[in-house]
Structure 1
Amino acid sequence: MPKITNKTIQYKLKASNQANAMVLIDDSSDLQLPSIEKLTDTVKGSGIMGEIDLPSFGQLGSMTFAVNNRADNAQYAIMSRPGEIKFEIIWVVDVFDSSQVKVGIQQHKVFLSGVSKKYDMGKIDVNSGADGSSEFEIYYLRKIVDGKEVLLIDKFNFKYVVNGTDYMNDLRTALQ
């Protein structure tokens, strides 16, 4: 019987400051992890019924990471600066093991590197949250679930590894 992943119990966000030290960002309301979208080109012609929007091998679109916050503070200002910013996100989800009728937890970690694209300080209104946000262009992503690396994307080093399979190895070899 499978384990059923349910929902996020809690999370923690750290970002690198000007000295490249990881600092806890403890006032975010939620995070939007990057979406992995392949670049595509429409193929049509003889031998194809209509069109196929075919992904280009190993080519990924922009990956954006967003941090939404209730109120702006000094922690968010450090994330607006130029240059590389590193992130460490840890979250825990509850998991239902139907074979043992038991609830447990599962740890997820994501390590990101990127640059600031947008820093929105939010709005100022009486008796309201600021609802600001920060967005980052991500070029390095590493995901670990319960201590096992399940995904690694490194755009500058042509790496796209899923559960230990390096899909860009042949491309790197061909470019030598």
Structure 2
Amino acid sequence: MKITNKTIQYKLKATDTTGNLVVIDDNSDLQLPSIEKLTDTIKGAGIMGEIDMPTYGQIGSMTFTVNNRADTAQYPMLSRPGEIKFEVIWVVDLFDSSNSKIGIQQNKVFMSAVNKTYDMGKIEVNAGADGSSEYEVYYLRKIIDGKEVLLIDKFNYKYAVNGVDYMANIRTALQ
């Protein structure tokens, strides 16, 4: 059994104003999107109480947050209107209990998003600025050790987990 432990290191890249992916330095941490399904409460005959039932394949707002120590020239550039593409790569250490070895696991997330907020932070003597930027994500692709494990493409109606596209039958039904 492989047991993942903790993040060893990560790198954030984003598209600049010319569309090139560049490394975004000096961030303190990243909050990846949470995938929350849209729901509706059902109740009535045959149901004891209520069920907050997710609507099949419908995903709520997905937010990506970049927290930074200082407001460098990179962060105002990432507050611009329009699409910004992100690439997050991180490595975690893992323990393989079957042979008592320690190794690593590579994770990658690719996102397309638009900027929602840009907080320049605070100015205080002998302290970091602690600013942040928040983005609305509409495309997300996660790869672990070279294998795609998650794909959400809201504009093309795709939601695939480990190669199974759960929205294929919906796209077919809508033709």
TM bucket (normalised to shorter chain) is: over 0.9
- For 1:113, the aligned partner's letter is S
Look up the match of 2:63: 64
Look up the match of 2:170: 171
C-alpha separation in 2, matches of 1:131 and 1:43: 42
C-alpha separation in 2, matches of 1:29 and 1:14: 14
C-alpha separation in 2, matches of 1:20 and 1:174: 36
SS at match of 1:9: strand
Structure 1 residue ranges (4+ consecutive) displaced by more than 4 angstroms after TM superposition: none
C-alpha separation in 2, matches of 1:128 and 1:109: 31
- For 1:118, the aligned partner's letter is T
Matched, 1:79 2:78: yes
Look up the match of 2:108: 109
C-alpha separation in 2, matches of 1:97 and 1:4: 6
Look up the match of 2:43: 44
C-alpha separation in 2, matches of 1:100 and 1:124: 51
**Structural mapping, 1:7-22, within 5 Å:** 7-22=6-21
Kindly state the Cα deviation for residue 99 of structure 1 after the two structures are TM-superposed.
Answer: 1.0
Percent of residue pairs bearing the same amino acid type: 76
Look up the match of 2:161: 162
Residue deviations 1:109-145 (CA, integer Å, cap 9, x gap): 0000010000000000000000000000000000000
Kindly state the Cα deviation for residue 50 of structure 1 after the two structures are TM-superposed.
Answer: 0.4
Report how many aligned residue pairs link the two structures. Answer: 175
Give TM-score, length-normalised by structure 2. 0.99
Residue deviations 1:50-81 (CA, integer Å, cap 9, x gap): 00000001110000000000000011111100
- For 1:76, the aligned partner's letter is Y
Look up the match of 1:4: 3
Look up the match of 2:150: 151
Look up the match of 1:92: 91
Gap runs ≥5 in structure 2: none
C-alpha separation in 2, matches of 1:141 and 1:103: 29
CA RMSD, Structure 1 to Structure 2 (Å): 0.4
